[in-house]
Each structure stands twice: as C-alpha cells, then as structure tokens.
Amino acid sequence: MFSAKKLAESSSSSSSSSVVGLPSEYVYLKNNSDEKYIILDDEEAQNITIPTIDFSQLISSNSSDRSKAIQQLGHACTHWGFFMLINHGVSETLREELLRASQSFYDLPEQDRKQYEGGNILDPIKCGTSFNVNVEKNLLWRDYLKCHVHPRFHAPLKPTGFSKIIETYCKTSREIVGELLKGISISLGQEENYIHKVINYESGFQIFVINFYPPCPKPELAMGLPPHSDHGLLSLLLQNDLQGLQVLHNCKWIPIQPLPNSFLVNTGDHMEILTNGKYKSNIHRAIVNNKGTRITIGAAHGPPLDDTFGPATQLLGEHDLPLYQAIKYRDYMNLQQSNALDNKSCLDHVRI
C-alpha cells in the first residue's frame, strides 16, 4: 500500500538528488473549478470578511445576543456555507491532545495501521491514502483515518489513550453541532428542535476523520483534497498551524487562515437537500505545502445511515417544488465514497 507519508519520508532521506521530484501518479490533473476560478493570496484574503459565529452568543440566555448570532448563522449558511466558530468551549488542551494523538497514530509502526487498510468503503475504521484509490486516475497527497463514531463508537486501540481522546472530542463536537442545528432551525423560521426531529439527530451518523498531509516536494503540482462538498449536514474541522484549506466563494478560492482555537465549519450536501437549496453545501479543497506535515481533524454529522431524506416539508414554500430526490443517507455516502471527489458531482445524482 502506498502512503503519502512513506513517500515523503523516502524522498527526504534520498539526499543524493538536490531537486526532488514528484512521482507522476501524484501530479494532480486540474478539474474545471480549479482552472476556472481566481485564487486569492493571503493578503487579498485578509480583506474578505469570513463569517465568524460566536458560539457563546448562540447559546446565550440573553435573547438579543442569541438572535444576533442566529441571524449571522443564517447569513453564513445562505451566502457562504462556511464559517469560523469561536468561543465554542473546547479547551486548547483538548485540541492539542487531539492533534498530538493524531500525530502519534501516524508515528505507529506501519503494521498497526495496516489492519484498517483496504476493505469496504463504509468499514467502521478505515485507513488509506488519497480518497478512493480504486477509481482515481491520480493520487492525492493525503493519508487518512476515518472512524464511525456515532451511534456506535469505533476507534483504533493504538496508540494508548487515542480512542479515549477521540471519544471525548466527538461527544463534544456532536453537542456543538446540536446547538448549531438549533440556531439553523430558528434561522429557517422553525422551532429550535425542528431539524433535530426531522433528521432524528439523536441517532444520527457521525464520522471522525484525520487528514494527514506530509510535506510535499512539489506542492504546486500535487493536491491534498480536490474541490468537493461534504456529504452530511455540518462538518467541523480543526487543524494544526499549517494552512491549506481553500473555500470557494463568489468564484474565488479563499485561503482560510483560522482564528486561534476556532473550528472551521462547512455545510454539507444534506443541509442543501434538507433546505431544498436555501442553504447550499460549500465547495472547498485542501492544498499541500513543503514546510511540514499539515494535520486536520474533521467530524461530519449527518442523519441516521438507514433513513431516507429529501427536502423537509416545512422548509418547502407553498409553491416550491422539491429540487432533490429523497435518498437513503447510506446510499448517498456510498455514492460519494465510491467515486472520485469532483465538486458537487454526487449532489447532481439527486438533483431533480
């Protein structure tokens, strides 16, 4: 099995060549949206106001603070499908432990990860490289671990303490998303538990992901994750101090420089389906660098795997027709996971 990590290590130790190339299978073939859109540099991005939601205001007992935060949330979901979440209550300590644990998982001898390689795309614990090596023409400069963490919790037993930290974090991230969904329900003119009830959030499916992007000898030729939208309702992402996420907004790729101890939040395809397109899922990608290993930790939150969803009845206006076919979440995930990542190609399958 290849891995970007192994390759990065072998190229940095092969000191004989001064110019280290990139194996041709890692040269990324740009797709439509990579070519079409302008990429802002960091300085230009500083002039863009990226939506920021203050979680403490969203759960505040002061109704005016809460309404303001809910309005900002609705605005972020309508115009961006992306926001930074601050004051969320997850301690800097837990965040650092999580990043350390993720690094330790990749410091394990390779055979400790091997047992989770291959297998089925929806295995409860899966390790791999790229996105789906069975269908991709070229490889991505990314290794990953994906674990199903709700309704049943699964995580590797090694390294020691890894599973406990992930469990603690995933429980908190579900609670945070639970509150965000309440705010989103209200922003859509419904009572706060509307989405919880419609999607049966208590039994909802949650996946935990570690994205591991080692330093790349030719970052401009490779790709970490190509443009895509996430499958669920909301994904939370945190990262170490290396940048790489770019969000597509108004036909521009915006490099994201996270605020300290913030979460990066993306709305996913199921948010778009549920709201009949009012809140669009966001297209984003991850580029790579040659400075060091970038680690990102994602948690995706969706409905129960075996439930079927289309646009929610109460979110359809009187004269609106549903724009998406209902689909079982498991089938949607299978569809996304068994193809190469390509913008919103998966959503196109259910668009009416």
Which parts of this chain interact with ligand AKG (CB under 6 A)?
A: 209, 211, 225, 230, 237, 244-245, 284, 286, 296, 298
Looking at 16-24, 33-41, 226-234, 309-317, which segment touches Fe ion (CB under 5 A)?
Answer: 226-234
Looking at 43-51, 146-154, 225-233, 246-254, which segment touches Fe ion (CB under 5 A)?
Answer: 225-233
Which entry of Fe ion, ligand AKG, none binds 209, CB below 5 to 8 A by partner kind? ligand AKG
Report in angstroms how near the CB of residue 284 gets to ligand AKG at its nearest: 5
Q: Which is nearer to ligand AKG, 296 or 343 (CB)?
A: 296
Q: Which is nearer to Fe ion, 183 or 244 (CB)?
A: 244
Amino acid at 225: L
Report in angstroms how near the CB of residue 228 gets to Fe ion at its nearest: 6
**What sign does the CA torsion over 19, 224, 287, 138 have?**
positive
- Helix or strand (DSSP H, E) at 144: strand 143-150
Q: Which is nearer to ligand AKG, 113 or 284 (CB)?
A: 284
Among 90, 102, 162, 230, binds Fe ion (CB under 5 A): 230
Report in angstroms how near the CB of residue 225 gets to ligand AKG at its nearest: 5
Q: Which two tokens stand for residue 226?
A: 């190509």
Q: Which is nearer to ligand AKG, 130 or 211 (CB)?
A: 211
Q: Is 264 helix (H, G, I), strand (E, B) or coil?
A: strand
Q: Which is nearer to ligand AKG, 57 or 266 (CB)?
A: 266
Residue with tokens 């900002």: 72
Report in angstroms how near the CB of residue 340 gets to ligand AKG at its nearest: 14
Amino acid at 158: K
Dist. CA 155–CA 141, nearest whole Å = 23
Reported residue count of the chain is 352
Looking at 55-63, 109-117, 224-232, 308-316, which segment touches Fe ion (CB under 5 A)?
Answer: 224-232
Q: Is 56 helix (H, G, I), strand (E, B) or coil?
A: helix
Q: Which is nearer to ligand AKG, 76 or 237 (CB)?
A: 237
Q: Which is nearer to ligand AKG, 82 or 309 (CB)?
A: 82
Dist. CA 129–CA 140, nearest whole Å = 7
Q: Provide the angle, in degrees to the nearest 10, between the axes of the packed helices 162-187 and 92-107.
A: 130
Dist. CA 341–CA 229, nearest whole Å = 9
| Among 244, 268, 238, 257, residue whose Cα is nearest residue 140 | 244
Dist. CA 141–CA 212, nearest whole Å = 9
- The DSSP output letter for 203 is G
Which residues are 127's β-sheet partners? 145
Is position 272 an interface residue for Fe ion (rule: CB under 5 A)?
Answer: no
Which entry of Fe ion, ligand AKG, none binds 245, CB below 5 to 8 A by partner kind? ligand AKG
Report in angstroms how near the CB of residue 298 gets to ligand AKG at its nearest: 4
Which entry of Fe ion, ligand AKG, none binds 211, CB below 5 to 8 A by partner kind? ligand AKG
Strands 38-39 and 252-255: parallel
Which residues bind to Fe ion, rule: CB under 5 A? 230
